[in-house]
Amino acid sequence: MNPLDNPELQDIQMRLNAADSEVRRIALLDITDFEGEDHVPLIIASLRDPVAAVRAEAAKALEAFENNMSIAALIAVLDDPDPSVRQAAAHSLHDLKNQESARVIFPHLINPEASVRAALFRALRELRVMNSFEPALTALTDEDATVRREAVAVLGYLKQPHALPALAILAANDPEAEVRRAAIGAIGFESGDVTLTAVLSALSDSAWQVREEAAATIGKLQLKNAVEQLIGALNDSYWQVRLCAARALGRLRDPRSVPALIETLNHQISNLRKEAALALGEIGFAGALPALEQIETDPDPEVRKSVRLSIAQIQATDREAARHARERSRTDL
């Protein structure tokens, strides 16, 4: 049966040809209720509608139909003159789930429009297709910062160790802070000398967002050789960096950070007091108990909750250490 023989679909087709653009737009909302893909050409035809709102609705509707014809049509309108249409098409492409979709995307990665290249790399990111590795690596030198950032994200999702040197170079030298930040985040899948050198350098970056990402990456990878630098980051001029540094120090559980964390318990920003308290609990050093007990009546309820939790953690750690000591003593006897 021809899908256009369906009376309801015939009604939609008539509405797609209506003079009123709002009628055409609503028809596109209704067309996605039909199963199958035989009516996709009707949606694609609406991508040429003279009204941008209708074209944008058509681009949104194609999100539900992940086939080569739909993907090619969405790519074609990534350079639509209206930003709402471009955004809708990019969003639909970003939601692709079928890895076979990448085959349609690859030939367009050399599009002269930077916004198109960026949108396509963004779509490839979620697909995690290994064939996107080389194009993404090449795009790290793209003239457009947004393209470089999206290419970094592709490499971060692919998690290939041989991308680390290029990402580290980008993290240290890219003129755009957002690209440097993305590069630091992307290398956070593997510890090693390249990663350690990159994140330690990033802790002194001129942009606080990069320093924040570096502190978070150190904590995520538990880079033990970065403890001293993290302690220094507790004095960063931006509280966001200090917060990530405190959180990372808790994950590293190095007693050397205890004095600096105790000092942070008195910071005027409550989120920093909370993170410092939690970090001290993670470290489990009994010598921090007096300082924690002093702020059990902190005016912020979240800080008080974190203090109680940390005190309980330290006491539990202390009891466990005492139990192990007794067992060793009995064994020695």
DSSP annotation string for 221-265: HT-GGGHHHHHHHTT-SSHHHHHHHHHHHHHHT-GGGHHHHHHHT
Given a contact cutoff of 8 angstroms between Cβ atoms, the answer to whether 15 and 23 are in contact is yes
The dihedrals phi and psi of 205, each to the nearest 5 degrees, come to: -60, 155
CB within 8 Å of 153: residues ≥ 6 apart: 121, 122, 125, 182, 186
Q: Is the pLDDT score of 1 beyond 50?
A: no
In a domain, 170, yes or no: no
Helix (H, G, I), strand (E, B) or coil at 297: coil
Instruction: State which of 95, 112, 143 marks the end of a domain.
Output: 95
Residue 5 pLDDT grade (very low, low, confident, very high; cuts 50, 70, 90)? low
* Cα distance between residue 250 and residue 254, in whole Å: 8
**Domain assignment present for 240:** no
Closest CA to 129 of 103, 149, 111: 103
Q: What is the pLDDT of residues 72-107, one digit of tens each?
A: 999 999 999 999 999 999 999 998 888 999 999 999
Q: State the chain's mean pLDDT as an integer.
A: 93
One-letter amino acid of 274: K
Of 95, 127, 161, the domain-final residue = 95
Q: Which of 95, 115, 150 is the last residue of a domain?
A: 95
Domain at 52, CATH number: 1.25.10.10
CA angle (244, 247, 251) in 5-degree steps: 130
Inside any domain, residue 288: yes
CA distance 184 to 168: 7
Span 171-175, average pLDDT: 97
- Residue 64 has a CB neighbour count (10 Å cut-off) of 16
Domain count, the chain: 2
21 occurs within a structural domain:
yes
Is residue 76 in a domain?
yes
**pLDDT of 105:** 95
- Residue of 38, 65, 40, 49 whose CA lies nearest to 16: 49
What is the pLDDT averaged over residues 158-162? 95
Mean per-residue pLDDT, 34-38? 72
Find where tokens 């003159």 sit. Answer: 81
Instruction: Please give the DSSP secondary-structure letter assigned to residue 18.
Output: -
Q: Are 255 and 283 in contact (CB under 8 A)?
A: yes
Least confident window among 92-101, 149-158, 257-266, 273-282: 92-101
Which structure tokens are listed for 330?
A: 């009995």
122 within a domain of the structure (yes/no):
no
The answer to whether position 120 is within a domain reads no
Q: What is the DSSP letter of 266?
A: T
pTM strictly above 0.95: no
Q: Residue 332: what pLDDT?
A: 66
Task: State the Cα–Cα distance between residues 257 and 9, nearest whole angstrom.
Answer: 68
Q: Which domain holds residue 297?
A: 254-333
Within a domain: 138: no
